Structure 1
Amino acid sequence: MARLPAEPEAFIRANTALEAPAMVPEFQLWLASEYVPIWQATEAWLEEQNVDPPYWAFCWPGGQAVARYLLDNPHEVRGKRVVDFAAGSGVASMAAVRAGAASVVANDIDALSLVATRLNAEANGLRLAVSAEDWLAAAEGEPEADVVIAGDVCYEREMSARALAWLRGHARRGRLVLLGDPGRNYFSAQALEERARYEIPTSLQLENRGMRETVVWRVLPHP
């Protein structure tokens, strides 16, 4: 079960700062930086604060790539129902809203991620829905959608396999499925169609490099 500090919104504002992601300067997000406490947080400090690892506090390349693609290609989501799987900071969800989607649901099993997504949307005058359901669990209902988006979900072997299978299931139902990935260890381009490629500035502390080539892929129905 994802944990929450006693005052989650106050915690986010106190430990992050409003910044514009490199690839989507149209938005301001509550993000970690070298100047705020959560950047240097230790596991013990997070435990004390009752907080899971703050992946939501960083705007990862995969999410930025999907967001950039949607802002540049609004016809992909205009007037459609969009769900953002493992939404993190919610940047791709926000891009879908800005691009004219009929509805957007940002999904993440990290409860604090969803608080951050709501704050980020509010900071940019946008409205979207959030969901904490574990969509990869067989017992959970499938979300209603015309378009499914995801970014940076291939960082662990099991997660990558389950997420790609789930995404491909949506493609088989005739939905447009877009995946942003910067070449994570467990990513496979099998049965994917490239839609866009970006060079995204990244933090050396997070990525061990200053730039990451990141691709937006369309997930095809069959491997």
Structure 2
Amino acid sequence: MTLEAFIQARLTLEPVPGVPEVRLHRAGPRSGLMRLAEADPDFGSPYWARPWGGGLALARYVLDRPDVVAGKRVLDLGAGSGLVAIAAALAGAGEVRAVDVDSYAVAAARLNAAANGVTMEVAQTDLLDGDPPDAELMLVGDLFYDPALAARVELFLRRCLAAGIAVLIGDPWRAPLPADRLRVVAEYPVADFGDPNGATRAAAVFELEG
């Protein structure tokens, strides 16, 4: 069975809690993700199989404020399941690109985009050490969960900001987030499935300022 067929067969396609406009293939207790992990030593953490708090908040904000993305070239950095990119496409973005370093995330994002009837480019790549991309708006959902990664992400986003790219970040106030250097523009209660207990918590949308 191919990865795409596995996701379609074992991860239920259903509306996202708090963002029902978007449907995702989401893992459940009987999805059998351990089969993928056992078959591939590079499987890693299946963060792409569940929506995380920062992505939920950012997707909700984009759908509530379509003017933020309307007609713009938008890039979803660390897209995971593609939730935020899909929300941007549904909200009227002119062009949407979703990137992630994980091949499983890329496969899931492509399937989820098709399931929601949106067109977007999905690519497996690491942009963090390169030049700013061709975009007008950078969307970043829940990439500040690890201190080392958070430092790389912030440096890259500041290069993007200096190049004239606006930056919006969704995050449930995780410890590595540089909150003192960000401006809160919205806040939402979310069911953060990135946490083991799936607890509901506050997540915010932040604007990166120079």
Please give the range of the TM-score, normalised by the shorter of the 2 chains.
over 0.9
1:80 matched to 2:55? The reply is no
Match of 1:197 in 2: 187
Match of 2:39 in 1: 48
Match of 1:166 in 2: 156
Mapped partners of 2:127, 2:38: distance in 1? 26
Match of 2:27 in 1: 32
**Identity percentage over the alignment?**
38
Normalised by the size of structure 2, how large is the TM-score?
0.93
* 1:81-100 matched pairs, under 5 angstroms: 81-100=73-92
Contact 2:142 2:171 in 1 (8 A): yes
- Partner amino acid for 2:5? A
* 1:171-190 matched pairs, under 5 angstroms: 171-190=161-180
More moved, 183-192 vs 54-63 = 183-192
The counterpart of 1:145, out of the listed 123, 127, 135, is 135
Match of 2:58 in 1: 66
SS in 2 for 1:34: coil
Equivalent residues, number: 209
Alpha-carbon deviation of 1:184? 1.3
Listed as ranges, the gaps of 5+ residues in structure 1 are 1-5
1:125 matched to 2:114? The reply is no
- Partner amino acid for 2:177? F
1:10 matched to 2:2? The reply is no
Mapped partners of 2:63, 2:20: distance in 1? 11
Q: Tell me the alpha carbon deviations over residues 86-121 of structure 1, each in whole angstroms, 9 at most, x when there is no partner.
A: 000000000110111110000001011111111001
- Partner amino acid for 1:16? L
Structure 1 stretches of 4+ with a deviation exceeding 6 A read: none
* 1:104-123 matched pairs, under 5 angstroms: 104-123=96-115
RMSD over aligned Cα, in angstroms? 1.8
Q: Tell me the alpha carbon deviations over residues 38-62 of structure 1, each in whole angstroms, 9 at most, x when there is no partner.
A: 2xx38xx604245332111011111
SS in 2 for 1:26: strand
Listed as ranges, the gaps of 5+ residues in structure 2 are none
Match of 1:102 in 2: 94
The counterpart of 2:205, out of the listed 216, 220, 223, is 216
Q: Which has the higher strand share?
A: 2
Mapped partners of 1:132, 1:142: distance in 2? 16
Match of 1:23 in 2: 18
